[in-house]
Amino acid sequence: MKSTIRQDDRSETGVMAGGDRWVAGLEEAIDAALRALRRNPSGSPAIHQVRVAVPYMDPLDWLRAQPETQRLFWCGRDESDARAAVGIALDVRLGEGDPYQVIRRTLTPLLRDADPGVRFFGGMRFDLDRDAAAEWEGFGAGRFVLPRFVLEPAEAGSTLVCNLVVPADLDQPAAICQQAARLAEPLASQYALPVPIARQDVPVHDAWAATIDRAIQRFASGALEKVVLARRSRFTFAERLDATLLLQRLQAATPHCFHFLFQFDADAQFLGASPERLYQREGRRIRSEAVAGTRPRGASQERDAELKRELLHSDKDRREQAFVRDNIEEALRALCVDVRVDDEPRLMELAKGRHLCTLIEGSLADSAGDADILERLHPTPAVGGVPLGEAMQDIRAGEGFDRGWYAGPVGWIGRDRAEFAVGIRSGQVSPRALTLYAGAGIVRGSEAEKEWAEIEHKISDFLTVLGLDLRDVKY
């Protein structure tokens, strides 16, 4: 069960009780750690953590209160894995060329001797061969950041972690302590999210239908077996939209999903509630999921059971899901000494929908690292297509926009563990706009109207928390 802040943990002004004390304790611990590190300097870059126990704070409440423009949030399917963070201690930008080599040459050596609790959070573009559009420039081809401050759950209360990078941080104790002093800002009060006043889709309905028809013709010729085509739906507002409040409401409405937010500057934030795990690594064990095929939940038990049977026995959906399963299995067999694949797909049950899902597990070879896993797995046919090269050509030609980090891998890398979700069911928040991205897998037997409706269903979680009925928004 999710913990809550007790009434006596808050002051009348909404500031956490004891905030001055724990901030002072954190500053003292940072100063003491830096003095000790200066006495015993290390020749090579290293990461050190300062950890201080604090009263329980809801991670997204705390994040909303922070004045920093560099913020992030990650929570796996288990809420005990939630991490909220502000500031950047180390910024690893993947840049042009081979982004996976940057992970191998920079992140892997840094993590080799790091505390097991150290995590680099980040993600990558869906299409690494395409130039970023203006709205995605700040995200780059990919970025992994070591946050300056991280709020973590603890058995009793919370833990505030300060990440120090030496030798770079040895000469700036005052600046780091200044940042720490702002961490006890008043907790944000609840308020209503604004309602969108306009909507614009790219591509529009008729262009979307024509793109689907062209894909179906290519299936008939044998040039293509599956392509995932996405839409961008931009909603504008008369007032500012708070991304952290939106995510907080979205998290409550979408249990059992991966929830994330990445903000690298004041103007753009990428957030989402993805049901799809790309992979989870625990030591040398790896787990992935092949997810595809979609049905909404029914309004009654009878209708829900009917939709469940329909998905389980749909030839079109099972073929679509099999493409993903076979691709992930092939990728993991190239990285693992053994691989186990479920015989039959199971149902992934969500609050408002369900998918076909196959669990795939293995033991990684000693030579395989997170860069190798990402390079092999991304993009899966769940977000790209089969064959991949042909599908990417159709995506670039037919969508008319830059996916950016949508459908790319998002998550974190640590020394002994890592976890990534596929960045679907996601959107980008700018001050007065929310741009949502969602796609549908197109295979032989697909129908344009049904695929359009599927995408409407996939963005409905966002619109529901905004208090909006899809029928109320003009296209």
What positions carry a catalytic annotation? Answer: 226, 276
Residues with Cβ < 8 Å from 453, sequence gap 6 or more?
Answer: none
Of residues 219, 177, 198, the one with CA closest to residue 319: 219
Calculate the alpha carbon distances from 265 to 42, 73, 374, 429 in Å: 32, 14, 26, 12
Q: Does residue 387 have a cis bond before it (omega within 30 degrees)? A: yes
